Structure 1
Amino acid sequence: MDTISVNKFRDNLKSVVEQVIDRHEPLKVTRRAGEAFVVMSADDWEREQETLHVLQSQSLMQQIAASLETHNGCQGYTPTAEQMDEITGI
């Protein structure tokens, strides 16, 4: 994660915010006499929250683990060619 001083952040607010949004990378902003803070796009924030929700849910993590087992063992569901055409829109 890149770091920038609060003064540089304030002086270059528009370009710094555009950079954070375009790169999809958070930016740590440091203050001389206080706590630092992080700037990130709203979309990235929402994605992070969804990921945390999944990681904190025991039932979801069990479903993922079971799915990975069937995938690795080539035992998962295999759709028919017609179903694949419907899924992919071909």
Structure 2
Amino acid sequence: MNSISVNQFRDNLKSYVEQTASDHEPLKVTRRAGEAFIVMSADDWEREQETLHVLQSSSLMNQISESLGTHKSNQGYKPTKEQLDEITSL
């Protein structure tokens, strides 16, 4: 993650915001007192929140673990050709 001073950020606000949104890479902005904040796109923020929700949910993590087990043992759900065609046509 790149880090810049709050002065640099303020002086080039538009370009840093556009770069952060297009590159999907957060930017750390530091203040003189040493405090910092992160700038990231709203889409990236929502994605991070969804990931945290899954990681904090023991039932979802158990489902993922069980699914991985059935996949590794080749006993998982196998969609029909029609279902695969529907998925790949999206």
Judge same fold: TM > 0.5, yes or no: yes
The CA deviation string for residues 13-51 of structure 1, in whole angstroms up to 9 with x for no partner, is: 000000100110110000112411110011100000000
Q: Distance in 2 between matches of 1:81 and 1:26?
A: 41
Match for residue 35 of structure 1?
35
> 2:56 aligns to what?
56
Unaligned runs of 5+ in 2: none
Q: Aligned residues: percent identity?
A: 76
What residue in structure 2 maps to residue 77 of structure 1?
Answer: 77
Unaligned runs of 5+ in 1: none
Aligned pairs, number: 90
Give the counterpart letter for 1:2 in structure 2: N
RMSD of aligned C-alpha atoms?
1.4
| TM-score with structure 2 setting the length | 0.93
Q: Distance in 2 between matches of 1:11 and 1:82?
A: 55
Q: What whole-Å deviation, never above 9, does each CA across 1:48-79 have from its counterpart, x for those lacking one?
A: 00000000000000000000000111111112
The residue that corresponds to 2:9 in the other structure is: 9
